[in-house]
Structure 1
Amino acid sequence: MAAKTTETVHSHTLRLTQPHVIQSYDIEREVRKGFVVVEPTLASICHADLRYFGGLRKPEVLAKKLPMALLHEGIGTVVGGNGVHLTEGERVVIVPYLPGYLLNDMQPEQCCPACRGEIADNYCSHGGFLGSGTDGIAQRRIVLPEPCVIPIPEAVSNEIAVLAELCSVSYRALRAVAPLLDKARVAVFGDGPVGYLTAAMLHHAFRIDRDRLTVFGAVREKLDEFTFATTEMVQTYDFQAGEQVDVVVECTGGRFSESAINQGIDILKRGGHLIAMGVSEDLVPINTRDVLEKGITIHGSSRSSASDFHEVLRVMENTDCQDTLKRLVPDEFIGVSKAEDLAGAMDSALAHRDWKKTYLDFHW
């Protein structure tokens, strides 16, 4: 049974109603015991947001999930609620993964195998995820369970903290092979933001230097940003004769997933591990013969939980890590105060797909 509502807040919400169309809604949000109210201040656009906005998801998916406020990478300021640990005015990171036991006011063991600890805790069957079936960060007041709102350390600036969600996803995926990473050779496929932040977490969180970390990409200018790793162009590298690795992390997604996964299988040692992080709308053929012959373990991971955010924010306090992450911070932030502003920002991000992230500076 849900906890009793103690108050309500009005939230100016910018919802995607159909591809390329964002409209304003004034929605009354319930604030239950144990929930806090956050005013989003800064967010970044994810490729997942662009797939919704551009109508690149399947029609049946769009019909089921829209209208919906987008965005799940962001920070804000606590402005009210019924929490016990957070205070008004505190800078916080927003965790988009909302476990079902928190949403439904029950004990974890009453919810599902994930909440009971029988499987990974980021796979709750009764939970929610901001900007994916649940209104996301594009709203003036967002009401969240207090454990899903995490204070930002003083040493971490807003522009770095907004990258915590994407870093936490990479960190969570790498936890599957964490016991191996003190000695393993690792290859990352993907020269975009996901590949960059995954490589950054390997370097700063798991202490893997360039002698054990190789990044494969298709654009030399992007690969040149990976100053802490060895880099290789996929167009010219000999994957059959190249040096073998213990772990491959695929961060490409879309139409490049097939080649990245299969090239990763080529260079994996026997007993190696393949972590798939890239999202594709279509089925991806993979070389199962070599998966079987090499005894490769495949891991899938695309979401994190609050515990990963805590670890990532700790890593972000390191100034070397901050210098690495700053390479993804755009030179200018886009101001957003109304639906037209957000639609324009999404259209621009969809058209240009810059290497750096697109930041949205909210003015409610």
Structure 2
Amino acid sequence: MAIRYAFSIFTGTMELRQPKQMKAISCEQPGSFVNRIINVPPLRTGEVQLKIKQIGICGTDLHAYAGNQAFFSYPRILGHEIAAAVSQANGSAISEGEKVVVIPYIHCGTCIACQSGKTNCCETLQVLGVHTDGAMQEFLAVPEGLLIPTPQLTWTEMAMVEPLSVAAHAVKRADVKQGDQVLVMGCGPIGLATMVFSKIAGATVTAMDLNLERLNVANSSFSADHILSPVQEGDTRSQNPVHKSKYQVVFDATGNKQAMESGPFYTCHGGKYVLVGLYKDNLCFHHPSIHAKELSLLCSRNATKEDFLRVIQTLENKQFPTEAYHTHTLNFEEIPNKFNELMMPSNQVIKAMVQLS
């Protein structure tokens, strides 16, 4: 442990000063969380210290814990869906005690992507909780430019902003329009949010999943107009890969290789196929099929500040079913022992939240 020395003007002597410490939970390796006591890092110029209040659990966190997350190394403090309060303003324009959402994407601001406004896919992007330590700790220091004050939202709504922004960004990237037929593959948290933002854009939405319970939830609570099981059409994919479909936009939100490779089958001629889910290895598409359809294959990664601001407004206007989205809550201390429960299909987890005191 590092020990700091301070000079006392009253006694003229050097005094030992222990650094302030905090609780943290580290994913040391796949399948293993460890409780730790670590030093609160000193603030650098331009940084603000945050007291973490609530953290959303993302598919990225689940994949990291399972050992199949791309762009990842261990050990790592997870957590990038963040609701926090400012504990040290450090000369910033944001006041101490102010409620803030964190944009967890640390970008350079100078690369081609950043210069064109695509900070979400910066060439040297560092995502909190993925490439660098995240919010599963009591305090976190971040650049002031990554903070958005959200005085009108609850802590739970604030922790939803990041995943909802990922969905809103995907819908914007696909340029979903009034009257479009949209298919969303995967009824996890990103897929369900993508359905809602597609509906807000004016589309007719079909939800696809192997899980019938998830399909019913998509239909009853997340604006899906129709539901579809891939089993219904599975046999015809190999027989007729250039399938005449009605869906102008198809989103994959599964991250599953087989599902992702089937997407072009469901996309109409001249349509768009958007990969929102992430698979850590190669994907293979039948080129004559996607060529015949003049298919636009798009990837959608993270979100921009504009997406965050739009989502915050959507939540303020009560246009998103937050109660249906938030299904489970853990206390911070419960993570090592109960995190496995979030991965059990029988528990029907959509969005789990971790609460800190």
TM-score band w.r.t. shorter chain: 0.7 to 0.9
1: CA distance between counterparts of 2:101 and 2:337?
25
Question: Is the Cα–Cα contact under 8 Å of residues 22 and 342 in structure 1 kept in the other structure?
Answer: no
2: CA distance between counterparts of 1:242 and 1:344?
49
Matched, 1:123 2:121: yes
What corresponds to 1:296 in structure 2?
Answer: 295
Corresponding residue SS for 1:135: coil
Amino-acid identity (%): 22
2:107 partner letter:
P
Give 1:36 deviation, angstroms: 1.2
Select which of 95, 100, 107 maps to 1:99. 107
What corresponds to 1:231 in structure 2?
Answer: 227
Q: Which runs of 4+ in 1 moved over 6 A?
A: 238-242
2: CA distance between counterparts of 1:190 and 1:54?
19
Give 1:194 deviation, angstroms: 1.6
Matched, 1:356 2:355: no
- Give the 5 Å matches for 1:215-364: 215-226=207-218, 227=220, 228-229=223-224, 230-237=226-233, 243-254=245-256, 257-262=257-262, 264-319=263-318, 321-322=319-320, 324-330=321-327, 332-337=328-333, 341-352=334-345, 354-363=348-357
Question: Is the Cα–Cα contact under 8 Å of residues 274 and 299 in structure 1 kept in the other structure?
Answer: yes
Corresponding residue SS for 1:162: helix
Cα distance change, pair 57–188 in 1 and its aligned pair in 2 (3 A): closer
What corresponds to 1:188 in structure 2?
Answer: 184
TM-score calculated relative to the size of structure 2: 0.84
Question: Is the Cα–Cα contact under 8 Å of residues 83 and 146 in structure 1 kept in the other structure?
Answer: no
- Segments of structure 1 that go 5 or more residues without pairing to the other structure are 1-7, 101-107
2: CA distance between counterparts of 1:126 and 1:194?
24
- Give the 5 Å matches for 1:36-185: 36-57=48-69, 65-82=73-90, 84-100=92-108, 108=109, 111-117=110-116, 120-154=118-152, 156-178=153-175, 180-185=176-181
Matched, 1:30 2:42: yes
2: CA distance between counterparts of 1:48 and 1:99?
19
Q: Deviations over 1:116-175 (max 9, x none)?
A: 21x722111233111112001111111111121112241x32222211111101111222
Corresponding residue SS for 1:122: helix
Question: Is the Cα–Cα contact under 8 Å of residues 187 and 216 in structure 1 kept in the other structure?
Answer: yes
Cα distance change, pair 268–69 in 1 and its aligned pair in 2 (3 A): same
Give 1:41 deviation, angstroms: 0.7
TM-score calculated relative to the size of structure 1: 0.82
Cα distance change, pair 244–261 in 1 and its aligned pair in 2 (3 A): farther
Give 1:11 deviation, angstroms: 4.6
Give 1:236 deviation, angstroms: 1.8
1: CA distance between counterparts of 2:36 and 2:308?
30
- Segments of structure 2 that go 5 or more residues without pairing to the other structure are 1-18
2: CA distance between counterparts of 1:12 and 1:26?
6
RMSD of aligned residue pairs (Cα, Å)? 2.3
Residue-pair matches, total: 327
